[in-house]
Amino acid sequence: MYDPLLYQKQSIPVTVIQKIVADEMDVMVKNMLLKNKDPEARKRERVVARQISMVLSKRYGQRRLSFAKIGYLHGARDHATVMHAIKVLNNAFDTNYHYIIDPYLDSEKRIKQWLVTFEEKRTGVTVQRKRALIKIWIKNNVPLYIRERILLSFGKFYPEYGVFKKTINHFPI
């Protein structure tokens, strides 16, 4: 049973990813994003944090983020730097290099938690409850456009604050 509402990819802003990785690596975000001309930018912990952030931005960032855009958002780096970061992470997993692997996995875990809590705050419905509702609607042949409208009605977007606020929550499960 494939349904686009069940399997849609969620995205996370790059700035949030950078903050999560910086917290995980005990590095300040502004130091992680220093330009190459600054000698402090090439310290190992900052380089590793930036590489982890680049890889997670490609995986969990907004859709259609190119290597060049990710590089730009990480201190005006080149697209090849992002490709190199992906290569470094892949090699770290192949060689079981824990200095890079552990912060990557911890950051990835925190990003997944952030996605779940953001979705729950946005709609006012837990992920499990949302999945159950969608499956019930599929069984009852509710058309996709109606399901989308119902899910959108769970949360109302307030652009002046840049947040979603809960408006209704009355579907019992």
Higher confidence at residue 41 or residue 57?
57
Pairing verdict, β 163-166 and 155-158: antiparallel
What is the pTM assigned to this prediction? Answer: 0.72
Confidence (pLDDT) at 22: 93
Confidence (pLDDT) at 154: 64
**Fold of the domain built from segment(s) 14-116:** Chromosomal Replication Initiator Protein Dnaa; Chain: A; (1.10.1750)
Domain limits, the chain: 14-116, 124-166
pLDDT tens by residue, 100-119 = 899 999 999 999 888 878 77
Higher confidence at residue 135 or residue 2?
135
pLDDT tens by residue, 3-33 = 665 556 677 889 999 999 999 999 999 988 8
Mean pLDDT, residues 56-84 taken together: 89
Confidence (pLDDT) at 2: 59
